[in-house]
Every structure is written in C-alpha cells, then in structure tokens.
Structure 1
C-alpha cells in the first residue's frame, strides 16, 4: 500500500515559488532604489542652472492703433539663450513667443522649432511675431497712442515652452519654461531713431530677461 504525500511536503512546494517571487521583487526594488539614488546624487553634484536669455534687438515693421480697441503689430526680435552648465545639455521643446503690452497679448504666438543646446553653448533666435487687428482693452489702445507720442513704448516679449535636461545618456522629463523680456522701445524718439532697414526700424536693446523653470 503506497503512502500519500504529506500535507507539509505539498505546502513546501507551494511556498517555494512564492519565496522566489518575493526575493526577486525585493532585489528589483533595491536595484531601482540604487539607480534612482545614483541619479539624484549625480544631479545634485552637477547643480544644474537654468538658461539665461537676452533680448538683443527689435525691428519694428508695423505698430499701429487702428481703433481705440484694435492694435496691429509686426516686428522681428532677436533673442539669445545661453546654457551656463558645463556638463548638462538642454532640449528646448514646444517653444512659443509673443508680445504683450500692459499685461495683454497683442500678437499671435509664433512657434520656435525644437533645438538642442550643448554645454555652455548659445542659441540665437530671430522670429517674426505679428498680430493683425488684435482686439485690446480700449485704455490700452489709448495708452499705446500716448506712448508713441511720448517717444517710447514698454512692451514685454514672452517665451513659453518646455525644456529637458541631458546628463550623459540620461534625459529628464519635461519642465515648463517661462521667459519674460522687457522691451523698452524708443519708437518715435528723436534722440534715438534706430537703424532704418527698408520700411522697418531696428532698435538695439540688449535687455536681460527673467527666466523661470
């Protein structure tokens, strides 16, 4: 008469795969933790710095108040971006630029093509931004006319987008980038007429922008 397998023997066979699974999961968690800790330590030691931006110039083709609450604008700007990091590259993604006057957008957003910026490299963008018969608050139209008569207009050039950091082969997730460049343009100022280029006037600005990442 044959003996039946004991209950303990059967229970041992059930527990063995569970032990292997638990050990595998524990090893995987430890390995993942070590990798993440290493990336964090490397990231902290590199001390990434946000890029700097400078609004170099603005060329005005058109800036008219066609009605008290309607503004038409056409201009080309030159913006310089500098990566101050010696070991970190920057991917610029989904960048848009537009002009604002008294906290109100007066041009349509212009898309800047994605680009990679190497260690301590510079990128220069010269996009055209424009807005045709853009409705604004009536007081902004009157204010712009007054500023033109006084010989200076204070606009703000804004760049919004996303950036990714590259350290070796590691590329981070996306971070929001907000750049604000004050553009004090002496349009109509007899003491600073700018440089006439065809039917436009170019003004040298060299104004530092604020950057938030």
Structure 2
C-alpha cells in the first residue's frame, strides 16, 4: 500500500517532447548571389553616370554665368553688283563685291579665324567661290571687315535660274543672291583655346545692279546674316 501511495505522489510531466528537427529551405531564384552582385554593379554605374552628368551641367552653368557668351554677329553692310547677265548659252557673267562686318560682342572671349570661304548662290546654283586663307585674331568687343569679291562667268544649265533672272530684270533689276560663309574658327578664353569649330553663315541679299555709276533699283540695304554653329545651311 505504501509503494502504491509513493507512486501516486510522484510528479508527472507527461510524455517527453521530441527535439525539433531542422527544416530544409531550398534557395529560391531571388537569392542568387550573382544576380545580386550584378544589380549592385549596375546601380553603382548609374550613380556614377548621374554624378558625372550633374558635375558637367554645373561646370557649364558656372562657365556661362562667368563668361556670358554671345553669338558672333555678321552683317553685309555694302554690296556692289556691276555685272549680272546671262548670255545665250546659259552662261552667267557676274561681278559682285561685298563688305562683310564681323562683330565679336563678347567681353571675355576672343576668336581665331583660320579660314573663311564665301559662296555666291543664285536660285540654288552656286556660281562663284571666294576663299580667304589669311588667319586673323579678333579680340574682345572688336569688329573686323572681310571683302569677298566674285568675278567671272559660270555656266548654269538650270532653266529656273534664267527664268528668275528675266523676272527680276524686268521688275527693276534687283537680284536675290545668297552668300554663304563657311568658317573654321577657334575660341579663346583667358589662356584656354578651344578646338576648331565650323559655323556656317547665310546672308540673303537683294542687290541692285549698278551700271555707269547708276543703280537700277535703289540702294543696297544692310543685311543681317543668320549664324548656325551646328546645322548645315
């Protein structure tokens, strides 16, 4: 009886709990270490590119605020057309002299003109070319004058040019001639010189024919030219 009572008074904790087994997790696709590394590299490259873009933008902004660059200005201030006529074989005989003023309005930028080529065009037909290979330097807020001269003869087979010539001859003798300037220039800021730029300038002229000192259609008016640093004209 005493043995039975002793057994009943003992502490009972129930059945023993088995130890937890370690679960096995199969690595998924998102945990690929190589993909994670590539993402980090691409992110770093993107940040570097954006930083470089911002730095270049700030440098350009600071340069513009300090220098305040302005476009070079071109005007044809005078034009003398003493011969402009077609012969029977569609040959154009011409004699045209121009005064072209070049104004540098910048206070801190100088310009080196290494080459100037001027082309005379009538109804999309080029009939003469003038080239100046004498380089010169244009200082701050300076004005220079270039005097291209076109003289000679040129066969123009396009009948459209002849028709336009007859029309303008009968309407007063004022001829619409385009002059295009092709430049090779360098800019100077302090001790810094840039590489070569090739701006192009277009001057749409209305030039009266002058014979024996008398103009057939009034006087020539100063013409402002269009300047394009990036596009061909």
Superposition TM-score, scaled by structure 1 size:
0.70
Residue 183 of structure 1: CA displacement?
Answer: 0.8
TM-superposition CA deviations, 1:85-111 (whole Å, max 9, x none): 000001112111121112221213333
Q: Which has the higher strand share?
A: 1
Give the 3-state SS of the residue equivalent to 2:160 in structure 1. helix
Query: What secondary structure, in the 3-state scheme, does the structure 2 residue paired with 1:176 have?
Result: coil
Query: Per-residue deviation at 1:39?
Result: 7.6
Q: Is 1:91 matched up with 2:108? A: no
Please list, as runs of the form range in 1=range in 2, the aligned pairs for 1:72-151 lying within 5 A after superposition: 72-111=93-132, 113-151=134-172
Structure 2 residue aligned with 1:178, among 181, 200, 218? 200
What number of residue pairs does the alignment pair up? Answer: 171
1:202–1:77 CA distance, 2 compared to 1 (3 A): farther
Q: Once superposed, which parts of structure 1, at least 4 consecutive aligned residues long, lie more than 3 Å away? A: 36-43, 201-204
Q: Tell me, what secondary structure is at the counterpart of 2:108?
A: coil
Q: 2:63 matched to which residue of 1?
A: 43
Distance 1:39 1:81 in 2: 29
Post-superposition Cα deviations, 1:144-183, rounded to whole Å, max 9, x if no partner, equal 1221121121111111111111001111011111111111
Contact 1:162 1:175 in 2 (8 A): yes
Aligned-pair Cα RMSD in Å = 2.8
Q: 1:73–1:107: 8 Å Cα contact kept in structure 2?
A: no
Q: For residues 52-99 of structure 1, give each alpha carbon's deviation from its aligned partner in whole angstroms, at most 9, with x where no partner exists.
A: 011111111321111363212111100111001000001112111121
- Unpaired segments of 5 or more residues in structure 2? 1-51
Q: 1:207 aligns with which of 223, 227, 230?
A: 223
